Structure 1
Amino acid sequence: MVNTEDFTKRLQQVLEYYGVSASAFADRIGVQRSSISHILSGRNKPSLEFVLRILQAYPEVELYWLLNGKGTFPAGKEKPETGKTVLPATSPDLFSGTSPAQDTGKETDAPGKHPELERIVFFYKDGTFKEYRKE
């Protein structure tokens, strides 16, 4: 019998190891995102199909480890590439060669250039609204 709470912890460990969110994990194994959410929250128990989809998408996950906590994870010792790029410790100075912007004296928000306001409507959560018109 699978202990759902322990299974959830191991599933969370898989998500952290691969550096994926629950929704990305669901997309990768081909299940609805709500399925992952319900299993992680303890609302639902994992089905056999769910477990098999994990094993198919992630061959480094061992069946007995996932179900019972026996064995090792990951099966291979090397951590996979997560697609994250390591940034250098120092960044190039992007603004050293640029001069400050010159003031042209032109105003950007000239009056009269905007359309005239006709009305303002406030919508409330209870489904009502209040309308204000220019007089």
Structure 2
Amino acid sequence: MINMNDFVNRLQEIMDYYGESASSFAEKIGVQRSSISHILSGRNKPSLDFILKILSSYPEVDLYWLFNGKGSFPSKGKFEEPKPILKKETDLFSINETPPTKTPGDKEIERIVIFYSDGSFKNFEN
């Protein structure tokens, strides 16, 4: 769960770093001025769409830093688009082949979350 007071402080830190007022920040990320005001005052919590708009407009902002203060701001280094590991689902194993079995010590994927550019997301749990 996000600590709202800390989140508001980090949001204010982003605005201060870029020299943005609440109005100019709202315009840059594409939200209503009132959205920024309500979040800064603690009246509303940020939506996923709001968070994604910040990350898209300010690539130096790290998601984990924004959520929980871990990491650094501005983030160090440049991010590259992840390269797909598989071209298609059948690249993992053929239909006639049994999937690989888990050996002791292997880690198992618990959950995968995919975020889409329209602000929606899909959650896949094992």
TM-score over 0.5 for the pair? yes
Q: How far, CA to CA, are the matches of 1:15 and 1:72 in structure 2? A: 15
Match of 1:83 in 2: none
Q: How far, CA to CA, are the matches of 1:36 and 1:72 in structure 2? A: 22
* CA-CA distance at 1:75 after TM superposition: 1.0
Please list every run of 5 or more consecutive structure 1 residues that lacks an aligned counterpart in the other structure: 78-135
Match of 1:71 in 2: 71
- TM-score (normalizing by structure 2): 0.60
Q: How far, CA to CA, are the matches of 2:3 and 2:51 in structure 1? A: 14
Q: How far, CA to CA, are the matches of 1:2 and 1:30 in structure 2? A: 23
- TM-score (normalizing by structure 1): 0.56
Question: Equivalent residue of 1:46, what SS?
Answer: coil
Q: How far, CA to CA, are the matches of 2:60 and 2:71 in structure 1? A: 12
Match of 2:55 in 1: 55
Q: How many residues align?
A: 77
* CA-CA distance at 1:76 after TM superposition: 3.9
Encode CA deviations 1:21-52: one digit per residue, 9 max, x unaligned: 01000000000000000000000001111000
Q: Which has the larger radius of gyration?
A: 1
Question: Equivalent residue of 2:11, what SS?
Answer: helix
Q: How far, CA to CA, are the matches of 1:48 and 1:34 in structure 2? A: 17
Deviation beyond 4 Å, 4+ runs, structure 1: none
Match of 1:21 in 2: 21
Q: How far, CA to CA, are the matches of 1:48 and 1:11 in structure 2? A: 14
Q: How far, CA to CA, are the matches of 2:52 and 2:38 in structure 1? A: 18
